[in-house]
Amino acid sequence: MSIMNHSRRSMLQSASCGFGFLALQGLCAQQASTATSAGLAAQTPPLAARAKRVIFLCMSGGPAQMDTFDYKPQTGKKKHPGSVVRFRQHGDSGLWISELLPETAGHADKLCVINGMYADTGIHAQSFLQLHTGERLRKRPSLGSWINYGLGTENQNLPGFISLNTSKSSIYSSAFLPSIYNGTPIGVNGEDMSVATIRNVVSEHLPLTAKRRQLDFVQSLNRQHLQRRPGDDKLDSVIQSMELGFRMQASAPALLDLSDESPETLKKYRVGKKLKIGTCRPTDFGRQCLLARRFAEAGVRFIEVNHGGWDQHKNHRRDLKANCDTVDAPTAALLEDLDQRGLLEDTLVVCGGEFGRPGLTPDDGKDETGHNARGFTFWLAGGGVKNGYVHGKTSNTGDRAVEGKVHFRDLHATILHALGLPANDLKYWHEGRDHRLTGPEGGKVVSELFA
């Protein structure tokens, strides 16, 4: 048939079909997995689950554990090589918490503190990547993507994984997992966590009804393309992503609009209060925590909240106080809200960074600001963990974990276990072998953390 026999409409349809194929090929990864993708449909976990979702409060830069949760009491007459701040016991549990975190200390009986954390390296970028993906050097799926892959989302109009206040794609990437399991980033460095920051979601040039017709046409072409490539899960996930993007246009704006929150709630979370002292970045951490609560209520499976500026090699005491002032009240407000709304029992809150600080040395007291991956602190709350409990211990100088040691692999395994996912059996076939979050070594579930 000659080109003169084609109608204008058939020519446009054919051309747009070709353009659509090229665009989809560009979006899809080079390798197609042989695994069957269940998409974002909510999955029943294979094990008994204590939690349905996770909120990760990520403190990047290396918080000083001996100035926050790892109390080293004075012994003998010589000045103890420990914290530069005072500690007090709090709650019925008598948990020792720094004076710099008075609001969080009010929820001491909700906290499960891990003082025996350790990682493989004191290099920021590598340890930060290991915290999120289990590996230090290679691009791998993040923790949120693995959870998204294993459980799907409880709300089909929202992504299963949202990352607030981040500019590092590696921490929300699905890597070789289908792209539908990618995290959705909102906001960069605390700026503008509005719906406009969700890429390719909001567009004002067409009403929703017209957008729906437009997408239906494009998706019909996409599905024709998929029929010619049966079993291509990467392609299928891109098609699902386009559908999710459309549904988000109706749901996301309402969740990101805080105008329906009371003045008391906004004040409690310190929404709008930005702080910049020394090396600390300005951040609206309170808005992130409030959004995390709203996303948790709406059925998002994994929400990451990010606060940087903990890399304090100078002016340690000043900047440490500034960071604690920034995160303390919003963290306490989040724990209180989750508890009052009945969400804390099935929401696992995780807080920590890529490593810690070694504390003061016995000799000159000048080493409090170094990097320490050999021993540091995380805390958990909700999701069936013990209340007012401390697991593990560092040495007297806080330089290394000596009891109850928990590696990032073990932390990942424990989080997966809390969600009802088999820690070392959640796998994905890629490049000729199975991969898992806990790596070839596997991770140990820290059962002592659970009630």
Residues in the chain, overall count:
451
Residue 31 has pLDDT above 80, yes or no: no
Q: What is the pLDDT of residue 243?
A: 63
Report residue 189's pLDDT band, with 50, 70 and 90 as the boundaries.
low
Q: What is the pLDDT of residue 19?
A: 39
Q: What is the mean pLDDT of residues 134-141?
A: 94
Q: What is the mean pLDDT of residues 313-321?
A: 84
What is 51-449's CATH number, 1.10.238, 3.40.50, 3.30.300, 3.40.720?
A: 3.40.720
End-to-end CA distance of the chain: 73
Q: What is the mean pLDDT of residues 226-252?
A: 66
What CA–CA distance (Å, rounded) separates 99 from 79?
Answer: 19
Q: What is the pLDDT of residue 254?
A: 82
Instruction: Please give the share of the chain, as a percent, with pLDDT higher than 70.
Output: 73
* 55 DSSP β-pair partners: 303, 349
Cα angle at 247 between 244 and 250, to 5 degrees?
150
Q: In this predicted model, what pLDDT tens digit does every residue of 425-444 receive, in sequence order?
A: 999 999 899 999 999 999 99
* 378 DSSP β-pair partners: 114
What CA–CA distance (Å, rounded) separates 121 from 125?
Answer: 10
Q: What is the pLDDT of residue 213?
A: 72
Alpha-carbon dihedral sign for residues 321, 311, 271, 129:
negative
What CA–CA distance (Å, rounded) separates 426 from 418?
Answer: 14
Phi, psi values for residue 430, rounded to 5°: -155, 130
Specify the pTM: 0.82
Q: What is the pLDDT of residue 30?
A: 33
Report residue 3's pLDDT band, with 50, 70 and 90 as the boundaries.
very low
Lowest mean pLDDT among 72-81, 120-129, 148-157, 423-432: 72-81
Q: What is the pLDDT of residue 391?
A: 98
Question: What phi-psi label fits residue 148: left (phi over 0), alpha (psi between -120 and 50 degrees) or beta?
Answer: alpha
Residue 331 C-alpha from the chain's centroid: 15
Report residue 376's pLDDT band, with 50, 70 and 90 as the boundaries.
very high
DSSP sequence for 414-451 = HHHHHTT--TTT-EEEETTEEEETTTTT-----GGGB-
Residue 174 C-alpha from the chain's centroid: 13
- Per DSSP, the three-state class of 126 is helix
Report residue 57's pLDDT band, with 50, 70 and 90 as the boundaries.
very high
- Compute CA distances 188 → 116, 218, 305, 445, whole Å: 31, 31, 11, 33
- Compute CA distances 289 → 72, 104, 335, 353, whole Å: 30, 13, 10, 17
Give which of 35, 25, 248 is closest to 141, Cα–Cα: 35
Is the distance from CB of 172 to CB of 143 less than 8 angstroms? no
- Per DSSP, the three-state class of 303 is strand
What CA–CA distance (Å, rounded) separates 399 from 374?
Answer: 7
For residues 210, 211, 216, 222, the Cα torsion angle rounded to the nearest 10 degrees is 140
Q: What is the mean pLDDT of residues 406-411?
A: 98
17-25 CB contacts, 8 Å cutoff, 24+ apart: 17/221, 17/224, 17/225, 20/218, 20/221, 20/222, 20/225, 21/221, 21/225, 24/222, 24/225, 24/235, 24/238, 24/239
Residue 8 has pLDDT above 60, yes or no: no
88-93 CB contacts, 8 Å cutoff, 24+ apart: 91/388, 92/388, 93/387, 93/388, 93/389
What CA–CA distance (Å, rounded) separates 41 from 186?
Answer: 22
